[in-house]
Amino acid sequence: MTARARQLLTAAALLASLWLSAGARAEVYLSQAEFTQRYFSEPPAAGQLWLTDELKQQAKRLLGRQPAGLRVRYQRSTDGLRSAWVMNEIGKELPITIGVVVEGERIVAVEILAFRESRGWEVRFPAYTAQYRGAALDGERLSENIDGITGATLSVRAVNAVAKLALFYAQQLAPS
């Protein structure tokens, strides 16, 4: 192989890797630390909820699929009334990092912390996420009607799934 051919091959490989990584780059809107500070007046306690087979089966009804992992991490206020859950859910092909704050079995806030898809990013706007305030789990559905966004159907489904899952997981926490 000539030096010129090696240069062209190297340049093509570099361009291909840049093109592929550009689509997978996360647009981070809020760090986990900023999310925590926004919704807790004092540092919350970190905890983890172990996902037993029974919990996984119940969560499967909410998600439509088996949840991954053995545990879910959360943060909880010192009085035990408020919890925050940060989870990833696939939009179309890539994960969306979503934070949900639950208090008294109702959603206080939903925030999109990071978005990696090329479409559907509109779910990050407060005009959309405000619809979740006050929502509770009503069987396997949210108690509030959540309007969709044209062109962001899969992102909306991902946020709905995480909202339901956070409410369900918060119900599993023992009172402190």
Say which DSSP state 132 is in.
Answer: G
Q: What is the dihedral of CA 19, 24, 30, 33, to 10 degrees?
A: -120
* pLDDT tens string 124-134: 899 999 999 99
Domain for residue 160, yes or no? yes
Range of the domain at 122: 25-172
21 pLDDT band, cuts 50/70/90, is very low
Question: Distance between CA 105 and CA 7 in Å, rounded?
Answer: 60
pLDDT at 22: 46
Average pLDDT over residues 14-43: 75
Mean pLDDT, all residues of the chain: 87
| Tokens encoding 48 | 């983890």
On whether residue 105 sits in a domain, the answer given is yes
16 located within any domain: no
Q: What is the rounded distance in angstroms from the CA atom of residue 127 to the CA atom of residue 76? A: 26
How far CA 28 is from CA of 34, 111, 170, 174, in Å, comes to 11, 11, 25, 32
Looking at the domain assignment, is residue 33 inside a domain?
yes
Cα distances from 112 to residues 53, 57, 157, in angstroms, run: 29, 26, 13
| Tens digits of residue pLDDT in 89-145 | 999 899 999 999 999 999 999 999 999 988 888 898 999 999 999 999 999 999 998
Q: How confident is the model at residue 19 (pLDDT cuts 50, 70, 90)?
A: very low
Q: Classify residue 17: in a domain, yes or no.
A: no
Amino acid identity, residue 59? A
Confidence tier at 75 by pLDDT (50, 70, 90): very high
Task: Evaluate whether residue 112 is within a structural domain.
Answer: yes
Q: Is residue 73 part of a domain?
A: yes
Which residues does 88 contact at the CB level (< 8 Å), separation at least 6? Answer: 95, 96, 97, 98
Number of folded domains that form the chain: 1
Residue 98 located in a structural domain: yes
Whether 15 has a pLDDT exceeding 80, the answer reads no
| Separation between Cα atoms, residue 115 and residue 23, nearest integer Å | 11
Question: Hey, which residues does 48 pair with through a beta bridge?
Answer: 73
The yes-or-no verdict on residue 66 having pLDDT over 50 is yes
Return d(Cα 143, Cα 140) in angstroms, integer: 9
Q: Is the pTM for the entire model greater than 0.95?
A: no
86: left (phi over 0), alpha (psi -120 to 50) or beta: beta
CA-to-CA distance for 91 and 158, rounded, in angstroms?
6
Asked if residue 65 has pLDDT above 60, the reply is yes
